[in-house]
């Protein structure tokens, strides 16, 4: 029966095909299952290695964990720590609403009065010895000691010339600029030497018309800096101004160290502006964001002070300042040591906030902003501080406390009204920028 045979053969082939398909399906399933199991094992291993799952073996940590921890310790020790710079913020400064009703206090009798003269020319020693004339002069230690006494005297205070025929000692100004500076009663000054900074113009909208007319805004620059500013589009107008700044060009800089040269206008504003009664100094890295007359009222008149400077934002002790200057290589370490050891031998001690004899909140100032009346004690302190910078290093924060403490120690009956205000107040009235990086 042919039909039956054919049907039986077809049924057999169909069963064979189904059997093969079932085996093939089982093999594929096993392969896929094995693949997923291996994948999970790999993922688990990666998770275990990188995320440190704790596996306990009879109460002990995994040996692999210990290896990982040891590896981490070695890695941390081998790479530098990441430092996060602390941020500092301004605080409220309660200025008056306007300069309209400002009233200068009458001559305050509590301020010490005496007469200061300045060494203009040195004759002796220079003629007989091969000594070069210097801007700061050749002050002996005996002269230096005497200069700390608040009494009628003539002291070294920069701008010292040599005998007739000797070359200029530096900081040469045009006669027209000198005439202009001699008319100033209130001064805001700054400087840029060696193209160290961009020109930061005072914020004009916050400065009153009164101050714009009655306050001198003077920026001292050398010829290199003037050329750099001109190349950037800052060209003085026909009056010699760039915005509010009157540009005064200084020729024949007295020091190779630009920082030390910058201490001349910073400390000696009473010499540069002989008719001025008040001055405000700000470093060229700062932009003035407040009216100068309101600043004088707030820091001097309201507090009854003749000199105002802010404390440093982190450091209080000169010992800390010395270490920081060395750590950042701010100056030759041997020169810093020489200055520091000299000060210690002359009585400088560490800052101690619990000492009732210490009237300052810090021995380290943030010296980029200074407000001062040109009184006798203020002028004397400024000369003394400048002389320390001239004799030792240009790092004036190292010499501030020593100068102040020695002056007050040698004049116990003649008070110096120095007000050290909070650094956050300085940040409220100025904006800080970085120095140039392309010089």
Mean pLDDT (whole number) for 385-414: 97
> Which band of pLDDT confidence, cut at 50, 70 and 90, is reported for residue 72?
very low
Partnered with residue 192 across adjacent β-strands are 221
Confidence at residue 53, expressed as pLDDT on a 0 to 100 scale = 40
> Given a cut of 50, is residue 182 above it in pLDDT?
yes
pLDDT over threshold 70, residue 375:
yes
Higher pLDDT, 266 or 13: 266
Nearest to 362 by CA among 389, 388, 400, 392: 400
Instruction: Pick the closest to residue 124 from 92, 86, 163 (CA basis).
Output: 163
- Band (58; pLDDT cuts 50, 70, 90): very low
Residue 253's pLDDT is what? 98
- Tokens, residue 372: 């001062």
User: How many Å apart are CA 123 and CA 285, to the nearest integer?
Assistant: 39
Residue partners of 185: CB distance under 8 A and separation at least 6: 214, 275, 276, 277, 278
> Average pLDDT of 333-355?
95
List pLDDT tens digits, range 125-166: 555 566 789 999 999 999 999 999 999 999 999 999 998 888
Q: What percent of the chain has pLDDT over 90?
A: 70
- The answer to whether residue 235 scores a pLDDT higher than 90 is yes
Among 255, 176, 200, smallest CA distance to 222 is for 255
Q: What is the 3-state secondary structure (H, E, C) of 220-239?
A: EECHHHHHHHHHCCCCCCCC
Q: How many CA atoms lie within 13 A of 269 on its CB side?
A: 30
Distances (CA, A) of 402 to 119, 340, 348, 399: 23, 10, 6, 5
SS3 38: helix
Site of tokens 């002069």: 137
Q: Residue 23's pLDDT is what? A: 65
Token pair belonging to 330: 């701010």
Q: Which residues contact 260 (CB under 8 A, 6 or more apart)?
A: 389, 390, 394
From 308, 284, 288, select the one nearest 439 (Cα to Cα): 284
**Is residue 436 packed enough to be buried (19+ CB in 10 Å), middle (13-18) or exposed (0-12)?**
middle
Paired sense of beta strands 418-421 and 307-311, if any: parallel
pLDDT in tens, 81-94: 555 667 888 899 99
Tokens of 294: 């309101």
Neighbours of 89 (CB within 10 A): 7
- Report the predicted TM-score, pTM, of the whole model to 2 decimal places: 0.80
For residue 221, pLDDT over 80 is answered with yes
pLDDT computed for residue 19 by the predictor: 59
- Say what the pLDDT of residue 299 is: 97
* Cβ neighbours of residue 97 closer than 8 Å, sequence gap 6 or more: none
């Amino acid at each position: 029966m042919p039909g039956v045979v054919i049907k039986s053969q077809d049924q057999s082939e169909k069963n064979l095909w189904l059997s093969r398909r079932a085996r093939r399906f089982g093999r594929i399933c096993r392969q896929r299952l094995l693949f997923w199991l291996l994948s999970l094992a790999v993922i688990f291993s990666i998770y275990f290695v990188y995320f440190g799952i704790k596996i306990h073996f009879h109460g002990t940590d995994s040996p692999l964990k210990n290896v990982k921890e040891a590896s981490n310790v070695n890695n941390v020790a081998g790479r530098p720590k990441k430092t996060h710079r602390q941020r500092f913020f301004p605080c409220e400064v309660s200025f008056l609403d306007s300069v309209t009703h400002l009233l200068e206090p009458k001559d305050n009798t509590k301020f010490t009065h005496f007469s200061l003269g300045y060494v203009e020319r040195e004759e002796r020693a220079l003629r007989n010895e091969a000594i070069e004339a210097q801007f700061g002069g050749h002050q002996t230690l005996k002269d230096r000691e005497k200069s700390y006494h608040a009494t009628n005297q003539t002291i070294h205070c920069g701008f010292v010339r040599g005998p007739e025929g000797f070359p200029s000692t530096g900081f040469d100004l045009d006669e027209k600029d000198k005439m202009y500076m001699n008319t100033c009663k209130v001064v805001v000054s700054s400087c840029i030497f060696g193209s160290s900074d961009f020109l930061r113009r005072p914020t004009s909208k916050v400065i009153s018309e009164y101050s714009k007319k009655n306050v001198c805004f003077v920026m001292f620059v050398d010829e290199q800096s003037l050329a750099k500013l001109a190349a950037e589009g800052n060209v003085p107008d026909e009056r010699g101004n760039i915005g509010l700044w009157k540009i005064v060009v200084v020729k024949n800089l007295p020091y190779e160290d630009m920082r030390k040269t910058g201490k001349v206008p910073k400390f000696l504003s009473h010499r540069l502006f002989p008719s001025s009664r008040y001055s405000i100094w700000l470093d060229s890295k700062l932009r003035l964001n407040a009216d100068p007359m309101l600043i004088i009222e707030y820091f001097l008149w309201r507090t009854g002070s003749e000199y105002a400077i802010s404390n440093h934002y982190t450091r209080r002790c000169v010992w800390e300042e010395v270490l920081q200057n060395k750590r950042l290589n701010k100056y030759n370490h041997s020169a810093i040591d020489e200055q520091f050891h000299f000060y210690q031998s002359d009585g400088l001690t560490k800052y101690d906030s619990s000492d009732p004899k210490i009237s300052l909140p810090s021995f380290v100032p943030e010296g980029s902003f200074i407000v001062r009346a040109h009184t006798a004690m203020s002028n004397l302190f400024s000369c003394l501080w400048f002389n320390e910078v001239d004799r030792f290093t240009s790092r004036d924060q190292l010499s501030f406390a020593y100068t102040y403490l020695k002056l007050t120690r040698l004049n116990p009956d003649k008070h110096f009204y120095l007000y050290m205000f909070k650094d956050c107040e300085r940040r409220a009235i100025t904006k800080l920028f970085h120095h140039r990086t392309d010089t």
